[in-house]
Chains A and B, each alone.
Chain A
């Protein structure tokens, strides 16, 4: 049997495989075995080492399980102690001394006993207050929720609580005395590109070139397709969407997910041993299905949080008649170009079940007598996804229409684009005016601080509204993914994709909107802030009123008689 050792490596990330546990740092750390290892360079590693070398102070690392907190603790230990850590001591705490400083590493705060946590945090607070007289610096890995909860229970830790809270809200408050680094702020898409490039390297797959079953190997097909530049780019794009929505995927979740995209949960043995029934099953696991967890067993879902989130942006569930028509009838459209495109896309490779799709399609079109034929249901969702990733060029078919967010493009274009920002301001103002008043307000040049009662507390000129781009971060891998709407240098509203989409839809005249629940609180709080700082003019009453000719609400002014 031919076998690719790299596929075995990927199999470790399969949550249903017996090899799975190997990827947890806490369980094993195996140097001896000759196996493939690779490392993604992250900014945080370098930042931490520099920090302890140059301006040592205490650091709390927070993040979800799988963000690599433990790995970072190990890294700091190994670097400063010049030795590899065999296993963590039972206490979960280890001291590293170098150049008269001590770094006290707490690998996981929430694993410790209550008294111990209290002791360590009190020490930390004392050390910060005494400006590290003792030269003991902490590196603590913790969970945001547990940490917040613990700190709020002890009054004598209130100084630390405040320091932590301030830094949680704004990482720029980190200073030379104390840092809190929240790994949830890492934008996952940064790593996806790196991982795909690394895993798809030709040398990892060279042993496949002699494999007799290569043509009917779904793993190889996935490798082959996702190596294509435009497809890889689109995969990264999907991850980028999560950044835009403020959703964070941990490093571990991402590795599990990408491994699953490539293997569909199979290994070389499965492919070699496949009979025709298994082969049919395997043909249903191309990368574009795996990305959204199509046909996955339920048990695996709980482990793969990423899949649940991707389910919400699945391009397969949206029907766009132009695209569906291309899928069903593109090969008989009469336009040579289109027919070529169709034939190239829906060819006779494994994911098209070696041309079986084409046959079924012809049968369906020419001899469809039985009404219970479920051909469409079986194929259309899958083929929309295929089209979304594989169609070349963006011109003829607007594949992006398959995404549930209509304004992704506009959102993405705003980055680094002052001109576009200036243009979009007016649309956002209109959206906000409508969101505040819950009325169809006519497009205006001013942002009005108003509510359903239609009294305008204050107004802001378009120039007082600035769309600021989030900064890229130096300490962790975080690329700008949202904007901050700033009004009159005073009030700020964080603008991510869902809020942007909501406001743009209001602007274009939509009234009911499924995003409402996600964004309404944000908008309400923003509105209340605007009203709070308003300084109403006692001699005029500004209101919105219905204009019968326009059919929209307009601004009006009542001078006090």
Chain B
């Protein structure tokens, strides 16, 4: 039985997108969770379960002095443990040096205003310079510390599933991704040794590694992540895998790669969410990118409009689903007519219970009020339906749309200026990951071809040609020069990022300047 609105809408969302995405999870945490999962399967993209790691001693050591829980306690390494550690390293100053080094590796999370997120040590993370720096979110449970899913909310697990399904019949691609990530996460061996010996001293033994977390399971399992059954063969997943594989081709170390991965993964998850929100198979999702950094109001507006349109898709999809569920719960006309009087008499135990809205508190009043005014099936399907929908969609607005906004912001795909709405923009990192996942290392394609490719593939609209084709130009009623300038601005941006070479004759080629990373060259 559904307990409250939150669960109500999250259940809806699970049906559409899978179990589950939340707005608590930040962009980098999708990647971190995914990498945790992957390491927990020993780099196997087809595993029914995975193991997690707490590394409590190590984390207490690194984050000593950081807040613990909401009560403003501070985390402290136990004296006995401290003593052993100092004895082992034999130099107090060195201990500090080591701590400082690791603290410097913390993944920063800032909000839209640049303010740092206020996180307990339970949920602080490090750049995965080596797989040994990966650990799962935890939380105090009674006297012990157990796993938690506030920020590692399953987005990473779902991404794992997408890659897994996307490589189902593509063994070579699957192996390639596994191998490349393994090479990347195991390169810095010196870290492994030092982290290993700290963990050993502090008692983070292997035994805390659980091996029983369900992952890719065929039967229904509440504890497992799941994608909706009708999307398992979504062609997007294969595309995601190919893009990821190509990005991993370039020769940069994990520190740099992590930024690019965050951008790519966030973008992919966002595309998945949009894709599932389509009501018609050939709905076209358009992203109009404002490449002028919000300097031009008109461009900003078009961009914000496409963002809003895409949010509308999500809302509509929700409503569609909600309607179905509402219908199935109240039954047919006869059923309504039979029950309406009973519902009206004691709404709390009948109607609210049926709809799963018993925990609504103050917001149940409008529902009850509307219910009492209903006289027939028609009233129920219009007035009552709308009231209940409003109550539920309130929550939806706050959380479900937020997921996409967070992905947009943390992935560098969208943002807002104060006083304006969300719009699509491209951060340098996003631009890089876009080029690297579409252009092979050490090769190039022409700028106009690139624009056309990203239009066809993703629905990105930037320049003149695509604005015309997509009717954005027509509908905007703007002078074509706005689109020209937008296109030129992107070109400038690419140039500044070393991704575009301009020749004297106005030919411009987009270029991936990196070599293929050597350790993982496929035959």
Q: What residues of chain A have their CB less than 8 Å away from a CB belonging to chain B?
A: 64-65, 110, 143-146, 148-149, 152, 451-455, 457, 517, 521-522, 524-525, 528-529, 531-532, 536-541, 543, 545-546, 556, 558, 560-561
Contact = CB atoms under 8 A, between A and B. Distances in A.
Interface string B491-513: 00000111001111111110001
B518 A532 contact: yes
Given A453-B104, A453-B127, A558-B94, A148 B444 contact: yes
Contacts of A149: 446, 507, 509
Contacts of B192: 538
A145 B504 contact: yes
Nearest to A537: B190
A521 B497 contact: yes
B194 interface: yes
Given A146-B503, A532-B251, A545 B97 contact: yes
Contacts of A539: 190, 193
Contacts of A146: 503, 505, 507
A454 B190 CA distance: 14
A24 to B, nearest CB: 16
Contact of B97 (A144, A536, A558, A561): A558
B73 interface: no
A453 B258 CA distance: 12
| 9 closest A-B pairs by CB | A145-B503, A145-B507, A521-B498, A64-B504, A538-B189, A560-B193, A541-B190, A143-B505, A561-B88
A531 B254 CA distance: 11
B197 interface: yes
Interface string B402-416: 000000000000000
B253 A145 contact: no
Interface string B25-36: 000000000000
A152 B445 contact: yes
A545 B100 contact: yes
B213 interface: no
A65 B506 CA distance: 12
A538 B508 CA distance: 45
Contact of A521 (B98, B100, B513): B513
B190, B193, B514: residue with the most chain A Cβ atoms closer than 10 Å:
B190
A545 to B, nearest CB: 5
A524 B518 CA distance: 18
A145 to B, nearest CB: 3
Nearest to B191: A541
Given A148-B444, A556-B97, A558-B97, A538 B503 contact: no
A452 B104 CA distance: 9
Contacts of B507: 143, 145-146, 148-149
B160 to A, nearest CB: 26
Contacts of A110: 505
B350 interface: no
B89 interface: yes
B197 A545 contact: no
A537 B194 CA distance: 12
28 contacts: A65-B504, A143-B503, A143-B505, A145-B506, A148-B509, A149-B507, A152-B445, A152-B446, A451-B253, A451-B255, A452-B255, A453-B105, A454-B101, A521-B497, A521-B498, A524-B256, A532-B251, A532-B517, A536-B188, A536-B190, A538-B189, A538-B193, A541-B191, A543-B101, A545-B97, A545-B101, A560-B194, A560-B197
B480 interface: no
B97 A543 contact: yes
A146 B503 CA distance: 8
Given A145-B503, A536-B188, A538-B189, 5 more contacts: A451-B256, A455-B191, A528-B251, A531-B253, A560-B194
Interface residues of B, number: 47
B342 interface: no
Contacts of A528: 251-253, 256, 514
A538 B505 contact: no
A546 B100 CA distance: 9
Contacts of B517: 532
A102 to B, nearest CB: 29
Contacts of A532: 251, 253, 517-518
Contacts of A65: 504-505
B129 interface: yes
A451 B252 CA distance: 11
Nearest to A558: B98
Nearest to A528: B252
Contact of B188 (A452, A455, A546): A455
Nearest to B253: A531
A323 B153 CA distance: 65
Nearest to B192: A538
Given A146-B503, A455-B129, A525 B514 contact: yes
B104 A558 contact: no
B356 to A, nearest CB: 48
B197 A561 contact: yes
Interface in B418-448: 443-446
Contact of A144 (B129, B190, B498, B503): B503
Interface in B151-201: 187-194, 197, 201
A412 to B, nearest CB: 27
A540 B100 CA distance: 17
Contacts of B201: 561
Contact of B444 (A152, A451, A455): A152
Given A545-B97, A558-B94, A558-B98, A525 B513 contact: yes
A540 B129 contact: no
Contacts of A453: 104-105, 127, 129, 255
Contacts of A531: 253
A146 B252 CA distance: 31
A145 B508 contact: yes
A522 B88 CA distance: 43
Contacts of A540: 190
Given A455-B129, A543-B101, A560 B505 contact: no
Contacts of B509: 145, 148-149
Contacts of A560: 190, 193-194, 197
Contacts of B255: 451-453
A446 B342 CA distance: 84
